[in-house]
Amino acid sequence: MSFASGHLQENPLPPGIVGALGLSGYQLLVDVAGVGAGRLGQHAFLLVAAEPDSAAVGEVTHMVLHQSRLGSEADAGAYQQLAAQLGYLRLSGYRIALEREGLVSKLSLVNPATGGIALQIPAKHPGKLFGGAGVTQLLVSARNLPAAGPPPDLRNPELLRQTLLALALRDDSTTGAQAAELADRALALTQGDQSLDPAAALAAARAQ
């Protein structure tokens, strides 16, 4: 696993990008495997850590799918869910390629087994007037992708917690903070009963 929990908190967006876009004080809503969702007022965006072997100095974290005027609160929730799903896919073996376009970057999700691009996410949200896939459409596409390889080693508590966090965020009524609490409770349950798979542990944590 390349990215421990809290990676994006320790490696925020570069100050130059934050200042130029007026995003000082943005809120990090979720962080799974180095993929997160950010929010400040009507601004929403994905934050993505570059793969360790491709990160240039000073370009550790990129902004993707920047939207300066959210259409609805449902869209804000979709950003959070999309970040969690991309993180989950990264845990399964997909690699993320980032290409900078000015202050922001476009993302390509690469299947290492084939070298093919499975999903592309633009640097900026296209908006309704210009067509293109919106955040909810991108979320559907990401959820339809198969795992790139075998599931992560769930004997590793760090990997298991991030997997639980990503699964918890599939429920659009669950906030990032609530998902983190659920993941912690589910992780504790698996430590007491190793027969529980992630989905069962999460269901048991919700029932507590």
Whether 169 and 113 share a structural domain: no
Q: What pLDDT was estimated at residue 125?
A: 87
Q: How many CB atoms lie within 10 A of CB 142?
A: 21
Closest CA relative to residue 26, chosen from 12, 6, 11: 12
* CA-to-CA separations, 29 to 44, 47, 154, 169, in angstroms, rounded: 10, 10, 24, 11
Whether 161 and 131 share a structural domain: no
Q: What pLDDT was estimated at residue 129?
A: 46
Q: What pLDDT was estimated at residue 149?
A: 72
Beta bridge partners of 77: none
- Is the residue at 125 inside a domain? yes
From 114, 143, 172, the end of a domain falls on 143
- The pTM for the full model equals 0.84
At 165 the three-state DSSP class reads helix
Considering its fold, how many domains does the chain have in total? 2
Residue 20's domain comprises: 7-143
Mean pLDDT by 10 residues, the chain (208 residues): 80 91 92 93 94 66 92 85 93 91 94 89 76 80 85 75 85 81 88 80 85
- Is the residue at 151 inside a domain? no
